[in-house]
Structure 1
Amino acid sequence: MKNQVIISKATIDRLPLYFRTLKFIQQEGIEIISSEELGKRIGVTPEQIRKDLASFGQFGKKGVGYYVRELIGNISEILGLHRSWNMSIVGLGHLGWALANYPNFSSLGFNMKAIFDVDLSKIGLNIKGIEVSHIRKMPEIIAEHNIHIAIITVPAEQAQDVADQLVAANIKGIWNFAPVKIKVPRHILLASEDLSVGLSSLSYHLTRAFPDSK
């Protein structure tokens, strides 16, 4: 059996950027694009683009470029966007509400199927055709709708308990927005987004770029 090729996280993280940019290019009616032109639009060197794509196979034609529609399909398949993934949100605060109303999930194959909270004033609300359910109903609803991904948007002190309940409910992946590191078994796929870390990093660079700014 062949050894599985290890793809760097940086390469994987750039693929959605390529995919999104190529979709815009397709909307412009452009059928073929070079790595140089694609790189200019994204801010990535053409060498890096060719190296990233070569990690997954042979795409494009030398001296011609990439066929936009074909490359979109290839990257979509690599990212699993050709499949359909069912999602849920746990925690209907400001961020949970914004994510529940985000319009582009479905265009990428992510289908919102359930929203959970513990606030009785929110239970029963209808958001884009989805009724908000109590968190205690997670196991049965996750099973009923074959939900693969759960988005955690609860306060930090509640995040680990919610994650434990999701694991017990046989969720496959967790996208954690709570500002705390959570622990899950190795078979659970975990992605974390700490908004304060991103802003703090931006503040760091702004402080050094504009030291006299107030």
Structure 2
Amino acid sequence: MPVIRRAVGRGAFDVTSQRRLPGVGIARSGAVSDSGRDGGAVSRDGGAVSRAVPQATVTRFAGYLRVLSSLADTRVMIVSSEDLATAAGVGSATLRKDLSFLGPMGVRGVGYDVARLRARIELALGLDRGHRVVLVGTGNLGTALVGYDGFSRRGFTMVALFDNDPAVVGREITVGNADDGYSQLTVLHVDGLIEAAAELGATVGVVATPDAAAQAAVDALVEADIDCILSFASTDPVTPPHVDLRRVDLAVELQVLSFANAHKAPRIRPARPVCRDPRTVTPASRNGSVIAP
């Protein structure tokens, strides 16, 4: 468990970010670099691009942010690289390499200022501006996603819900969290997505439709000028080059776990202690043996 220490920081943040996914563009001196669809990049002193930020690093940024948020909630002010790496499930060397994309951060022999590092990663991931999310498909999965308050806690506000089922359109679903409060969103017909998304300033779309309807849902989001899409369909929708789409296939994740389970070495389970009636236990002799006197 990280120890609470006196906060150590270096003052104002000097990192800005760009919106393009899956990479993150990080620049200094107010300059934002763009290395295209293959990932973001780091620019020093507003000059040329020096290196790209790998997608794996961007993914780990999200993991570090989760740990830092938990530490901040428990009023931990300073965390060592070893403690942060362990909590995030990575090696210390990987952590330090990842954080090097953010510029100088930690203090040798002291650690990282939790609040400062958390804010820096939020800037890098573009979370400082917040995102307005629209969801298409309010079946069982879609309703469960809407009810998850972790999205709003992390800067993703659900602003509109869409479906094409007459039995569902018009239904009210609760969104929000205990800290910021709850509200009701009315499920709208998907035909009104383009107009509503523009009015609401939506930046992210979530597709939770059946596989057969996923492509049509993605097409509607793209037509509504939403170019960052998360799809829970098992199909792979076709998108224009400028659209960043990430897929989450829960069945695939279970299949990966099935592979891991099938290839694990058999575990030797410790034998359970036998509970005996003390009246039937043979008393031990003076030397501790129950066999020889």
TM-score (ref. length: structure 1): 0.95
Tell me which residue corresponds to 1:136.
191
Decide which of 149, 152, 155 is 1:109's aligned counterpart: 155
* Shift, 1:106, TM fit: 1.4
Letter in 1 for 2:136: V
Listed as ranges, the gaps of 5+ residues in structure 2 are 1-46, 175-183, 268-293
Identity within the alignment, %: 35
Which structure: larger Rg?
A: 2
Mapped pair 1:36 → 2:82: yes
Alignment RMSD, CA only? 1.4
CA deviations 1:104-152 (Å, max 9, x no partner) are 2112111111100011111111112111000101111111101111100
Whichever structure has more helix as a proportion of its residues is: 1
The reply on whether 1:52 has 2:98 as its aligned counterpart is yes
CA distance in 2, matches of 1:148, 1:25: 29
Matches of 2:49 and 2:155, distance apart in 1: 30
2:168 partner SS: coil
Corresponding position of 1:15: 61
Correspondences of 1:170-189 after superposition (within 5 Å): 170-189=225-244
Aligned partner of 2:257 in structure 1 is 202
Code of the aligned partner of 1:161: A
Which of structure 1's runs of 4+ aligned residues deviate more than 4 A?
none
1:149 is matched with 204
1:98 is aligned to 2:148:
no
- Residues 89-115 of structure 1: CA deviation (Å, up to 9, x unaligned): 101111100011111211211111110
Per-residue deviation, 1:18: 0.5
Q: Which residue of 2 aligns with 1:166?
A: 221
CA distance in 1: counterparts of 2:225 and 2:266, whole angstroms: 50
Say if 2:160 and 2:185, in contact at 8 Å, map to a contact too.
Answer: yes
Structure having greater relative contact order (Cα 8 Å, sep ≥ 6)? 1
| 3-state SS, counterpart of residue 134 of structure 2 | strand
Count of residue correspondences = 212
User: Does the residue aligned with 1:5 lie in a helix, a strand or coil?
Assistant: strand
Cα offsets for 1:174-197 (capped at 9, x unmatched): 101011111111111111111111
Maintained 8 Å contact 2:81/2:96: yes
Give the TM-score, by structure 2 length: 0.70
